Amino acid sequence: MVQISQTEEDIKISIELNRLVTRKPDVVLLPQYLKFNNPPIFFERHLTQEIDEMASFCRIFKNEARIVLVKKEKGVWPEMFQKLDKEALMKKRLEIADLIVERNKQRDQQAMERYDNKRRAEISKEIKRETEMKDRVKQFQDNARREALVVDVRKETSTKTISPPTNASYQQQPTPPVAAAARLSTPLMRPPMSAVRGSGRISVSFTTEHKRVTPKRESQTDIQMAFAAAGKATDPSMKSPMDTLDE
């Protein structure tokens, strides 16, 4: 079911949808042509006057599709659609098909141009950013080099302003780097060598007999007691085995 109404500014067309729209319908709006194709629904009309195809639109709702055609010239149209026979309709369809192909080519070309312009803008932005970064690095290097030169000049001027010693007899001679290093290093001093002792024979003689008295151990008392228990006389002149061992 299709409902059509018009005002001085636009034409409203309401197409009833008997089922849920699962895919995007094919809608074509040209200055004098209208097509709505969503199988099994097909609606096609040739307009008697021109419309603003850019301002016109189509909206899909749950149970209907609403098409609003904005007129180029305000006013009520006596006849909204052309009445064509079969041959004229086929001829018009061929013309519209060629026009649609040409419009699609132009639309694709415009899309490519927009993409190219966007890409060029991004590239230009990246180049500008890299150029600014290089300029900042160069400026930083120039400032560092300039500061280093200023420091060197200050050092030279400070060394020139220092006055020499007032004592005329003291004249500081420039010391070569080798002599300065030798003076600062610690000298190596070797101890004097003693005279070499000659060969010979040494004779040693002892005047008295060397004898060391060892205190009696506690273990020796047990040996003497065992020796007396064996029935032997304890002669003080006799020596026990430990005495001989100590000697």
For residues 104 and 145, state if they share a domain: yes
Buried b (16+ CB within 10 A) or exposed e, 160-195: eeeeeeeeeeeeeeeeeeeeeeeeeeeeeeeeeeee
- Do 90 and 145 lie in a common domain? yes
Residue 59's domain is classified under what CATH number? 2.60.40.790
pLDDT one-digit tens code per residue, 152-208: 777 777 776 655 555 544 455 555 555 555 555 555 566 666 666 677 787 877 676
Whether residues 68 and 94 fall in one domain: no
Q: Same domain for 31 and 66?
A: yes
What global pTM score does this model have?
0.43
Assess if residue 213 is contained within a domain: no
Whether residue 78 sits in one domain with residue 7: yes
Segment 100-144, tens digit of pLDDT: 888 888 888 888 999 999 999 999 999 999 999 999 999 998 888
The whole-number pLDDT of residue 42 equals 87
pLDDT digits (tens, 9 = 90+) for 23-54: 788 888 888 888 898 888 888 888 888 888 88
55 and 107 together in one domain: no
Any domain includes 244? no
Indicate the number of domains in the chain: 2
Domain that holds residue 92: 84-154
- Same domain, residue pair 32 and 89: no
Q: Please write the tens of the pLDDT for every residue from 60-106.
A: 888 888 999 999 888 888 888 888 888 888 888 888 888 888 888 88
